[in-house]
């Protein structure tokens, strides 16, 4: 039986790794959003990616469940919720960092002028 500190440490470790995946997906969706001003197809793709972000988060949580306890062992709600919450938190850090760098150094106001 694992203690609470070990469980939270394990959840945090997997959430950091999965947050990178979800963050890269979010960065890709922002790039598609930028291209949607020029090509109508990318607008539809952006909507699909926007709806797909929570689906990817659920998939990553199921993947964590399988790696952590397997398919037969019990998996508590709090453990899954914390993993999804921490994954979203770490992904939002990556997306915010990318957005800051892009708007400050590469955009020069074209996104807001559209």
Q: For 30-49, how does the pLDDT look when each residue is reduced to its tens digit (9 = 90+)?
A: 999 999 989 999 999 999 99
d(CA 111, CA 90): 25
pTM attached to this predicted model = 0.89
1-28 residue pLDDT tens: 678 889 899 999 999 999 999 999 999 9
Residue closest to 53 by CA, chosen among 28, 79, 81, 78: 28
Structure tokens, 46 = 């952006």
């Amino acid at each position: 039986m694992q203690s609470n500190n070990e469980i939270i440490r394990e959840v945090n470790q997997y959430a950091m790794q999965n947050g990178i995946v979800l963050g890269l997906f979010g960065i890709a969706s922002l790039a598609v959003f930028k291209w949607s001003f020029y090509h109508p197809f990318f607008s539809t793709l952006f909507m699909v990616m926007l709806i797909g972000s929570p689906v990817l988060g659920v998939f990553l949580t199921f993947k964590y469940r399988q790696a952590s306890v397997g398919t037969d062992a019990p998996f508590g709600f709090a453990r899954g919720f914390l993993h999804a919450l921490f994954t979203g938190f770490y992904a939002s850090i990556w997306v915010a960092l990318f957005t800051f760098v892009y708007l400050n150094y590469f955009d020069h106001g074209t996104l807001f002028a559209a």
